[in-house]
Structure 1
Amino acid sequence: MKIVTWNVNSLKVRLPHVVDWLAENKPDALCLQELKLEDKAFPAAALEAAGYHAVFIGQKTYNGVAILSPHPFDEATVVRNIPGFEDEQKRIIAATVGGVRVVCGYFPNGQAVGSDKFAYKLEWLAALTGWLREELKTHDRLVLAGDFNIAPEDRDAHPDWKDEIHVSVPERAAFRALLDLGLIDAFRLFEQPERAFSWWDYRMMAFRRNFGLRIDHLLVSPALREACLGCVVDKAPRRLERPSDHAPVVLELA
């Protein structure tokens, strides 16, 4: 089973990349973030033609998340946004795929440490953690996938990264709170190259210089740990013309 997370930074712009990638890689679940589309503009027909069903929640210009799968979804299993957390921003969708509970999230950026957006990020993370604690009681096979906007350790950020955002103490503590639920960073179950990142700024030739961050993650529940066969960043889509600034991260499960 293959579960993938990819911040596409506008599904409208990146749809050809996504369709091609689906054809080449055939994931069982592709978790997309930053759709930047209202629901009525979601390209369901194009994805169906590519052999993929979709559940999604979007909004104009910002945010938006989706899960794509060749397997039909049971709408009764789908959750949109964090239950009990009042939020106009569309950042969470969850569904069950092949017996695995897949939670796709586009975590808040936070803008700058100490800002109102940073406070919202920490509140959102606390609400997500509380909800996942309950989800894990009923779904022992669970994957939390998405753009976390957090580089959890120093090795997940280029040594010359000077900005506090994404690497601050409160953000990393919030990431550890997710791990304290029993979730496991699948990427770190395997030997990885040094400076393995998933996001690179469009500016300053950042991708060419590998000046990036690892902020796209797949966390697995303890019941899935032994099923993990590999987890890698697929840099190929980042090399395409008009790419997303993120690369897909691919998890293989037995």
Structure 2
Amino acid sequence: MRIATYNVNGVRGRLEVLLRWLALRQPDIVCLQELKAPQEAFPVAALEAAGYGAVWQGQKSWNGVAILSRGDTPVEIRRGLAGEADDLQSRYIEAAVKGVIVGCLYLPNGNPAPGPRYDYKLRWFERFAARAQALMDSDAPVVLAGDYNVMPTDLDVYAPERWRDDALFRIEVREAYARLLDQGWCDALRALHPDEVVYTFWDYLRNRFARNSGLRIDHLLLSPALQPRLRRAEVDREVRGWEKTSDHAPVWIEVADQTVRSRSKP
């Protein structure tokens, strides 16, 4: 089973890119971020024609998250996180898909830091960590996939010395990510590529994609029930080079199907 995350940076304006990639890679489950479309404008008909059912939480002009499933429709569990009743930003959706619980997230950017946006990012991270712990305690197979807006280590960012005060790389954010992993989550891409320079995002400015001046900010975290089934973890870097594409590349993993032991007859 192939599970992917992709910050599309505008699902309507980049629908052709998304559909092209879906046809090429044929993932079974996809988490999308930065839909930048209100709920009623999500292109559900086009995705259904491509073979995907969906649940989504839109937001006009900003944010927005969705979970796609090839050949069926995800069963939504929740949208949004507990802890701030007045938080209306569309950044988290969770569903049961093909025997796996999938949490799709778009963690706040947080810049400029320090400041109110950075404070919101840290609070959102703590609320997300509380939900992650509840899922961990369930012992279910879970994947938490999305744009975390965090570079966990120096290996995950070009020229790390330039990023020390950025909200994606400040010590408080990296420590929050480390505490999340300490719950028992496995960073799938880094688990299979422990020493490689692997990026998932390249800014449009200053020819950064051609120079490979990138960041690794899109992550798939696996619960212990899912970790032994991990077989591959890759970045479709070439998609970032397509015309009218997102500044993120899709990231995907392959997990082995769960085997069911049959009882032997007496």
TM-score over 0.5 for the alignment?
A: yes
Unaligned residue ranges in structure 1 (runs of 5+): none
Amino acid at match of 1:174: A
**Structure 1 residues 34 and 98, CA, compared in 2 at 3 Å: closer, same or farther?**
same
- Distance in 2 of aligned mates of 1:152 and 1:192: 12
Contact 1:39 1:58 in 2 (8 A): yes
1:83 aligns with 82
- Distance in 1 of aligned mates of 2:102 and 2:84: 19
Deviation string, structure 1 residues 118-171 (Cα, Å, up to 9, x no partner): 000000000010112112223520000000000000000002561322111000
Deviates more, 1:184-193 or 1:203-212: 184-193
Shift of 1:193: 6.9
Contact 2:44 2:54 in 1 (8 A): yes
Identity among equivalent positions (%) equals 44
1:11 aligns with 2:8: no
Deviates more, 1:155-164 or 1:60-69: 155-164
- Distance in 2 of aligned mates of 1:69 and 1:62: 23
- Distance in 2 of aligned mates of 1:47 and 1:74: 13
Contact 1:29 1:69 in 2 (8 A): yes
**Structure 1 residues 74 and 102, CA, compared in 2 at 3 Å: closer, same or farther?**
closer
Secondary structure of the residue that 2:123 maps to in structure 1? helix
1:212 aligns with 214
- Distance in 2 of aligned mates of 1:98 and 1:9: 26
1:121 aligns with 121
Match of 2:173 among 171, 174, 179: 171
Shift of 1:194: 3.5
RMSD: 1.4
Contact 1:73 1:96 in 2 (8 A): no
1:108 aligns with 108
Deviates more, 1:66-75 or 1:235-244: 66-75
**Structure 1 residues 248 and 197, CA, compared in 2 at 3 Å: closer, same or farther?**
same
- Distance in 1 of aligned mates of 2:195 and 2:213: 14
Match of 1:184 among 186, 203, 210: 186
- Distance in 2 of aligned mates of 1:225 and 1:115: 37
Aligned pairs (5 A) from 1:125-140: 125-140=125-140
Secondary structure of the residue that 2:45 maps to in structure 1? helix
Greater C-alpha radius of gyration: 2
Deviation string, structure 1 residues 24-51 (Cα, Å, up to 9, x no partner): 1111111000000001100000000001
Secondary structure of the residue that 1:209 maps to in structure 2? coil
Shift of 1:203: 0.4
Secondary structure of the residue that 1:13 maps to in structure 2? coil
Calculate the TM-score normalised by the size of structure 1: 0.96
1:195 aligns with 197
1:20 aligns with 20
Contact 1:73 1:95 in 2 (8 A): no
- Distance in 1 of aligned mates of 2:15 and 2:68: 13
Amino acid at match of 2:117: K
- Distance in 2 of aligned mates of 1:211 and 1:102: 30
Shift of 1:70: 1.5
Contact 1:101 1:139 in 2 (8 A): no
2:238 aligns with 236
Unaligned residue ranges in structure 2 (runs of 5+): 257-266
- Distance in 2 of aligned mates of 1:129 and 1:160: 25
Contact 1:108 1:121 in 2 (8 A): yes
**Structure 1 residues 208 and 126, CA, compared in 2 at 3 Å: closer, same or farther?**
same
**Structure 1 residues 65 and 74, CA, compared in 2 at 3 Å: closer, same or farther?**
closer
- Distance in 2 of aligned mates of 1:36 and 1:153: 29
2:261 aligns with none
- Distance in 2 of aligned mates of 1:72 and 1:137: 27
- Distance in 1 of aligned mates of 2:96 and 2:71: 10
